[in-house]
Amino acid sequence: MIPSSIRTVLKFCYLLPFMLGISCGDSPNKIKSDIEKSNLEEDTAKESTDVKTILFFGNSLTAGMGLEPDMAFPQIIQEKIDSLSLPFRVINAGLSGETTASGKNRIDWLMNQEVDIFVLELGANDGLRGIPLAETRKNLQAIINTVKEKNPDTKIVLAGMQIPPNMGQDYTSEFRRIFPELAAENEAYLIPFLLENVAGIPELNQADGIHPTEVGQRIVAKNVWNVIWPIL
């Protein structure tokens, strides 16, 4: 008579193939292949949930106006991320002509998705149009508030901007201060000046003198990368 402990072991050995979904006629190589396939599917599913999102929210500078979409600096950032095999995907939510007011109106639905890093690049069109600075500051803060309310864990990056002195020195100086002040108040990361080493250099800008060329966009991408790389 077979002792009960041995019968239990034998029963387990008999049932094990069925528990693993393996038929009795499967060869060892097929069993190994099935297990490896199952492991790969599990790893792939895990990787898909581990990919984080970087949302670039801005105007024509972010959209890459006048260039092919893959020449805009957010896509250049994606290329850099891919080259380093980092688990991040970039979403370019740049819209030509966007002001802080129109941005405030569309941010809510954009934040219905999970966003890990939010790069806010708005304000330049306000400054060029002479919109009251208090309004620009209020709208930028409202956008930041929405991001925080939707996802408190989102890391916020604010792109600093400067404008020509067309509106007077006081307006220009106060406009420039908006961005570092908001970044400090909200414990956000700051890109000191998005167009550093690009603005005012004719060969790095398109015919309008405002929007960067492909080479200019790569310099802008470097300015952005220097700030977001430590976050990644």
- Residue 162, number of CB atoms within 10 A of its CB: 20
The residues, ordered by sequence, that sit 6+ positions from 32 with a Cβ below 8 Å of its Cβ are: none
Question: Do the Cβ atoms of 102 and 140 come closer than 8 Å?
Answer: no
Catalytic residue among 4, 60, 126, 173: 60
CA gyration radius for the chain?
A: 26
**Alpha-carbon span 176 to 193, nearest angstrom:** 9
Residue 161 exposed, middle or buried by CB count within 10 Å (0-12, 13-18, 19+): buried
Q: Which residue shows structure tokens 């072991």?
A: 9
Is 27 an active-site residue?
no
Catalytic residue among 5, 48, 85, 208: 208
Q: Which residues are 157's β-sheet partners?
A: 119, 189
DSSP state of 212: B
Is 211 an active-site residue?
yes
Question: Comparing C-alpha atoms, which of 92, 159, 154, 156 is closest to residue 123?
Answer: 159
Is 50 an active-site residue?
no
**Alpha-carbon span 205 to 194, nearest angstrom:** 14
Q: Which residue shows structure tokens 């895990």?
A: 46
The residues, ordered by sequence, that sit 6+ positions from 98 with a Cβ below 8 Å of its Cβ are: 58, 59, 60, 122, 125
Annotated catalytic sites, by residue? 60, 208, 211
